[in-house]
Structure 1
C-alpha cells in the first residue's frame, strides 16, 4: 500500500543527516552526498531489487518485470551548496515509495520492469549540469568535461577517479536506453506559478531552451568630475538601457531574460565606465521564441551602443534547444493529477532537469511539478506544504500506473512506435 507519510519521514531523516543551519550540503561526491546514497541503499535492502552503478556512476534499483521493457522513475540526491531540502531528493524518495507499492501490488513481478534511478551530479559541481543523465543520453563530452574544476580546483576527472568511475567510459551508460519504455519524474516547481494559481500540482510541457552569452560593451573611461554628461561614452549606460528594454520585449515574446552578472572597469568611483561585461540568460519553450529573444537582444545592443558611442562583443556560454515532453505522456500525467485533485495546469520548466536529457535521448518522458512556497529553490528556505508533498507522491503513483499500461500497449501493438 502506498504510504506518502513514509516519504515525508524519509525526506526529514535525510535532511537531518545531510543538512546544517545553512541548508542542504549534498554536493556530489562529498561526505553528505555519500551519506545520502547510503541512506537510500538502506531503504532498498529489504526490497526484491538489484542495486548497481552504471559506468557514469548513476545508481539504479531494478525490479524485474514480465517484460524487459522498462519504466524509469528518477531524481537526484545531490544538492547545490546551502541548498533546499526537497530539490532532487523528493523525486527519488517518492519514486522509492511507488516502487514499494508496485512490489506489493504485483507480488514483486510487475508487467513491465521498473527502475528507480539516482542521477549523478545533476547540479553540476564542476559547472556541467546534468552530468549523469547527459552521459546516458550521449550528449556528454568526456574529454571536455575532464578538466572542469569545482570552486576548490578539484577536476571532474579527479573526483570521479576517487569514486572508481572512469570518465572515459561514462558514455557506456547509454546502453540502458535500449530497453527504456518511458521516464517519469516528480520535482518541486522551483518557481511561483502554481502558487500564484492556487494549484498544488502541474503538468510539465517540457524544458525551455537556453541562450546564454557573455557580452562586453566597450566605451571610454574618463574622469567623473571633468567629463560632461553629453560627452561620455559610458558602457554602463548601454547596459542600463538594455536592462530596461529587455523586460519590454520579453513580455511581448514570452519566455524569460536575465542579466545575472555585471563587471565594470576601471571599477572606481571617479571614472566613467569604460568597459562593462555582463551575462545574458534567455529561456523559451518555443525555438522560434528563443531565437526572437536573442535577435532582439542583439538589435537593441547595436542600437544603444551606436547611440552611446560604444561597441560590443559577444561570446557564447551555453546553448540548449527546447525539449518538449511526450504528448501522450503529458495527457496521462494530467489524467493522473485530476484523479486526486480537482484542477491542474500545464506549464513549461525554466530550469533544466535530468528529464530533459532523457527526452533528448529519445525516451518518452514527462514530469509533474508540485508547488513551491514563495517559488524558492536552491535556498535553505525552500519548502512545500506537507499536504502537497503527500499529494505529489500519490500523483506520481497514479502516473506510474498509467505509464506501465502505456508501455505495455506501445510495445504490444504491431508496428507501433512510442516516439512522438
Structure 2
C-alpha cells in the first residue's frame, strides 16, 4: 500500500477546524485546546498496531514494533503559537502518521519506528521553546524554568502538573533515545527562500546557532527644549546608529541579525533619553562566524558610545550553538526530494526546531522543508500550496525508507569521511558564494 498524502491533507483541515478560529490556530501547549488536539490525534493512532505512551516530559510517542530494537524516529509538534498557522508543527506529525500507516500496512518493519509529538516546541505560553525535546536531549535545566509564569500568573510547574508532568522528573525522558538510530522531521520552511527559487522542497543543512543579548547605552537626561543638540549625551542617538551597523556586520559575515526591541528611559516626550536598551538576536550556522558577528557588534556599540559621550554595557539573554545535521542523511534527503519533484535545494534553518535538540543528543538527524507561501509563519495567513503538501508527504515517506536502508548499512554516502560540522559549514559557504 502506498503512502496516502491526500488523507494527510484532509486531516490537516480537520484539525484546523477542530482547534482554530477566525484568528488562526490556538493549540498553545498545556491548554485545553492543545489537549483536545492530542485526544483527536490519539483517536487516529488507535486505528494502528502501535503502542502509545507519554514520557516524563509530556512528549507523546507512538511505537510500531520492528524486527530490530534499533529505532527510526519521526517527529513534529501539535502545539502552536496563539493565532498561529494551520501547518506549523502539525504537518510534521500528520505526515509522520501517514508514513507510520504505510509501514504498518506493509507488515513488520526491519526496525522499530517511533512517531513523536514533542511537547511545547513553541514556548508560546511560558517563553521556553523546545521544552519537551530539550528534556529528552538532556539540555533542559529544571531550575532555570521553575519560576516561569504565563500572562495569567500560572506557573510552569502548575501547568505541567495539570497534564501529568513533574518538572523535576522531566529529564527521565532522555531514556527515550536509548535505541534511536536516526531522526527525521518535515516542516514548512517559514521563510521565503524556496518560494523565491520556485521550488517546492529543500533539504535542511542544520539549524542556526543563536546569540541573544541586550545592549544598554547610558547617557544623561536633559530638557528637550533647553539643551543644544551638540551638548546632549543622548543614549538613543548611540543606540539608533546600531540599526544600520548591524546590517553591515551581517552583510560581512552572512547569517541574520535583528534588533527586536528598544526601551528608553525616562521615556517622555520632553526629555533627552538617559538610557536606551536594545535587544540583538544574531544567527549563523558556523560557530566561529557567529562569535565574530557578536564581537563586531560590541565593537561598534563601544565606538558609538564613545563618539556620543555615553557609556554602554552588555548582558547575555540566551545562546545556543549551531547544529549541523548529518551529512549522509542530508544526501538521502536530497535523493528523496529529487525522486519526488525532480529538483532539490539545500538551505539552513533560521528558526529553531526540535530536530536540533535530537541532533545535539548525538542522534543522526535531518530535516525536510516544504515551501511557505509569502515566507510567512506564526500568522493565520500561513499557507503552502496543496500540491506541495502532498509532495512533502511523499518525500518524507521516501526518506523514511532510505533512512531504514541507511541504518542497516545498505547505503553509504560519498561524504561519509567528513564530520557533520565541516560538511554543513562548507555547504553554507558554497551557498553564500552563489549569492
Normalising by structure 2, we get a TM-score of 0.93
Structure 1 position 293, deviation (Å)? 0.7
User: Who is 1:368 aligned against?
Assistant: 368
**Do 1:204 and 1:366's aligned partners in 2 also have CA atoms closer than 8 Å?**
yes
**Do 1:137 and 1:357's aligned partners in 2 also have CA atoms closer than 8 Å?**
yes
- Looking at structure 2, the residues matched to 146 and 56 of structure 1 have their Cα atoms a distance apart, in angstroms, of 14
User: Who is 1:197 aligned against?
Assistant: 197
- Looking at structure 1, the residues matched to 395 and 19 of structure 2 have their Cα atoms a distance apart, in angstroms, of 27
User: Who is 2:152 aligned against?
Assistant: 152
User: Who is 1:97 aligned against?
Assistant: 98
User: Who is 1:392 aligned against?
Assistant: 392
**Which whole-Å deviations, capped at 9, do the CAs of 1:231-260 have from their partners, x for residues lacking one?**
111111112111111111201110111000
- Looking at structure 2, the residues matched to 252 and 301 of structure 1 have their Cα atoms a distance apart, in angstroms, of 17
- Looking at structure 1, the residues matched to 327 and 370 of structure 2 have their Cα atoms a distance apart, in angstroms, of 20
**Do 1:364 and 1:418's aligned partners in 2 also have CA atoms closer than 8 Å?**
no
User: Who is 2:140 aligned against?
Assistant: 140
Query: Per the alignment, in what secondary structure is the counterpart of residue 115 of structure 2?
Result: strand
Structure 1 position 162, deviation (Å)? 1.1
User: Who is 2:88 aligned against?
Assistant: 87
- Give the ranges of 4+ consecutive aligned residues of structure 1 lying more than 6 Å apart after TM superposition: 416-419
- Looking at structure 2, the residues matched to 133 and 361 of structure 1 have their Cα atoms a distance apart, in angstroms, of 10
Structure 1 position 417, deviation (Å)? 12
Q: How many residues align?
A: 415
User: Who is 2:431 aligned against?
Assistant: none
User: Who is 2:52 aligned against?
Assistant: 51
User: Who is 2:224 aligned against?
Assistant: 224
Query: Per the alignment, in what secondary structure is the counterpart of residue 382 of structure 1?
Result: coil
**Do 1:410 and 1:418's aligned partners in 2 also have CA atoms closer than 8 Å?**
no
Q: Is 2:163 aligned against 1:163?
A: yes
Structure 1 position 144, deviation (Å)? 2.0
User: Who is 1:350 aligned against?
Assistant: 350
Structure 1 position 143, deviation (Å)? 2.2
Query: Per the alignment, in what secondary structure is the counterpart of residue 277 of structure 1?
Result: strand
**Do 1:363 and 1:419's aligned partners in 2 also have CA atoms closer than 8 Å?**
no
Q: How does 1:241-256 map to 2 (within 5 A)?
A: 241-256=241-256
Normalising by structure 1, we get a TM-score of 0.96
**Do 1:364 and 1:419's aligned partners in 2 also have CA atoms closer than 8 Å?**
no
Any unmatched runs of 5+ in structure 2? 421-435
**Do 1:53 and 1:59's aligned partners in 2 also have CA atoms closer than 8 Å?**
yes
**Which whole-Å deviations, capped at 9, do the CAs of 1:316-374 have from their partners, x for residues lacking one?**
11000000100100000000000011212111101100000000000000001001111
Any unmatched runs of 5+ in structure 1? none
Structure 1 position 410, deviation (Å)? 7.8
